[in-house]
Amino acid sequence: MRFLLPAAVLLLAACASGPTGPEAAKRFDSFQAVQTDDFTGYSKVQVLSLSVSPEIEARVDARTIGRDRERPISRRDLDEKLGDFRADIERRLATQAELVEEGGPGILTVRTIVTELDANRPTMAELADNPGLSIQSLATGAAAARVELSEDGKLLAVIEDEDNVTSLQDQTVLNGAIWQTADRYFARLADKLAALLEG
């Protein structure tokens, strides 16, 4: 009996990790295989610096009082979140492949564009823009990304994915930090990307 418990724990852990290899493509909201959906043969990966959509870029240090616009975000917060996201991706991919600085034949290049990014609580940029805003205000937050996988300049697949928090009653929103939704999403997307390489 004492040997059954560890085995059961390992089985549950394996099930919780989800599908790997080509089957892992189903875990994304949208996965378009341009050339392939099988990335298990790649042993080296180049992770490019992250970028953001023009819509997010337009919100950097924006002034919105009296206008119907998206929530502002500071350059510092944006750079920190992009750095956190890249670190998550590199940390997870490094468990499946060697990270390299340069792309080329036989090397999978990962390009990520953040297309949505909102905090769960007011940021410094929002408080500067609207001093009357309560720091206790809550929002569901948001995060989404487009990931392009390529080899030596040849596009292999395009991924579109976003967070799934839709209610302020979600415990991660109620008990979370300023960027809780985005941070959780970044970690989950990094896990799903790593699963593509896992054979």
Cβ atoms of residues 170 and 141 within 8 Å: no
pLDDT confidence of residue 169: 73
Residue whose C-alpha is closest to residue 182's, from 92, 117, 86: 117
pLDDT, tens digit (0-9, with 9 covering 90-100), for 8-65 = 444 334 444 689 999 999 999 999 999 999 999 999 999 999 999 999 999 998 877 6
Cβ atoms of residues 148 and 155 within 8 Å: yes
Cβ atoms of residues 120 and 181 within 8 Å: yes
H or E stretch including 145? strand 142-151
pLDDT confidence of residue 12: 39
pLDDT confidence of residue 105: 98
Measuring CA to CA, how many Å separate 154 from each of 35, 106, 107, 110?
A: 9, 11, 11, 12
pLDDT, tens digit (0-9, with 9 covering 90-100), for 50-68 = 999 999 999 998 877 655 5
Domains and CATH numbers, the chain: 20-197 (3.30.160)
Q: Which amino acid is at 98?
A: E
Cα–Cα distance between 54 and 45 in angstroms, integer? 27
pLDDT confidence of residue 156: 98
Predicted confidence (pLDDT) at residue 177 exceeds the cutoff of 80: yes
Using only C-alpha atoms, the chain has a radius of gyration, in whole angstroms, of 19
Collapsed DSSP state (helix, strand, coil) of residue 33: strand
Q: What share of the chain is helix, strand, coil (3-state, %, to 5)?
A: 35, 20, 40
Q: Which position has the higher pLDDT, 141 or 44? A: 44
pLDDT confidence of residue 160: 98
pLDDT confidence of residue 138: 83
Confidence of residue 1 (pLDDT cuts 50, 70, 90): very low
Give the total residue count for the chain. Answer: 199
Angle between helix 75-93 and 180-197 (nearest 10)? 30
Measuring CA to CA, how many Å separate 192 from each of 30, 92, 121, 122?
A: 12, 9, 27, 29
pLDDT confidence of residue 17: 63
Average pLDDT, the chain: 87
Q: In the predicted model, what is the mean pLDDT of residues 78-101?
A: 97
What the block records as the tokens of 15 is: 């099930």
* Alpha-carbon dihedral sign for residues 17, 23, 24, 27: negative
